[in-house]
Amino acid sequence: MKKDNLLAEDIAVAQLDAELVVDYLESNPKFFEQHPRVLQRLNLKHEQHGSVSLIERQQRVLRDKVASLEDEITTLMSRAQHNERLFRQYSEMYQALLQAKSFTAATVALEQGFCERMGLSALKLKFLDNTLPIAEEFQFHADTHKQLLSRRFNENSVYLGRITKEEHKLLFADEANIQSVALVQLGEQGDLGLLVVGSQDPLHFDPAMDFLLLSQLQSLLGFLLPALLKAQGEK
């Protein structure tokens, strides 16, 4: 028992001494500058490289930190360039939509923006009002629309992510192999219809993504499309 007590006391004293050394060095950061001889005699054991000096160890740590920061900066720059390119593509699409004089011109502007400039696989416009003077491909039955609403639009009027095989068939029939989609409700209450954009990349549209640009497009289409559809019906 005495040996155990003495061992415990020795460990406690060693820990206390170590803490005192740490406190002293933290309070005197220039200690090693003032005593370079001590710094040169220090060695740290490294699992892969054997014994190295404290200076070498510090240099290695700093190099690792610099490399990590460079990787972060590269990632941020790449992301910033992607966001800038995406912003310009949307801006060009907004301008083309504002200049559109007909419903056909508006659909062409959307197709050029999403499919040609952004390289996405599919674009669909679906309207609820079957009395509109538009082709069958643009018409959407109310019960189908409600089915999608109940599944995909619980909180937001924009949905990003995957869809089921049944939903894929409703939206795209047997067309492209769409793996992720953006579903955008059109109209103040979503009662006008849907804008559907599809990608073959399962990660292109993700629920965690920001959809500010799509929301802006949603507002613009909600303003433009009713007037264009009305004008087409009056021809």
Question: What are the angstrom distances between the C-alpha of 92 and each of 7, 37, 95, 105, 113?
Answer: 76, 66, 5, 14, 8
Q: How far apart are CA 221 and CA 160, in angstroms?
A: 18
CATH-assigned architecture of domain 102-233: 2-Layer Sandwich (3.30)
Contact 172, 198 (CB under 8 A): yes
pLDDT of residue 39: 61
Q: How far apart are CA 2 and CA 13, in angstroms?
A: 16
Q: How far apart are CA 194 and CA 218, in angstroms?
A: 10
pLDDT of residue 38: 67
Model confidence band, residue 74 (pLDDT cutoffs 50, 70, 90): confident
| Per-residue model confidence as pLDDT tens digits over 115-169 | 999 999 899 998 886 667 777 778 877 677 777 777 888 788 999 999 888 888 8
Query: Hey, is 233 helix, strand or coil?
Result: helix
Residue entry with tokens 């219809």: 193
Compute the Cα dihedral for 6, 7, 8, 13 and give only its sign. positive
Q: Among 152, 176, 147, which residue's Cα sits nearest to residue 162? A: 152
Indicate the pTM of the whole model: 0.68
pLDDT surpassing 50 at residue 3: no
Calculate mean pLDDT across residues 201-218.
92
Residue entry with tokens 């390289």: 119
pLDDT of residue 5: 46
Residues in the chain: 235
Residue 102 has what DSSP assignment?
S
User: In the numeric block, which tokens belong to residue 157?
Assistant: 């009027």
List the chain domain ranges. Answer: 42-99, 102-233
pLDDT of residue 8: 47
pLDDT surpassing 90 at residue 1: no
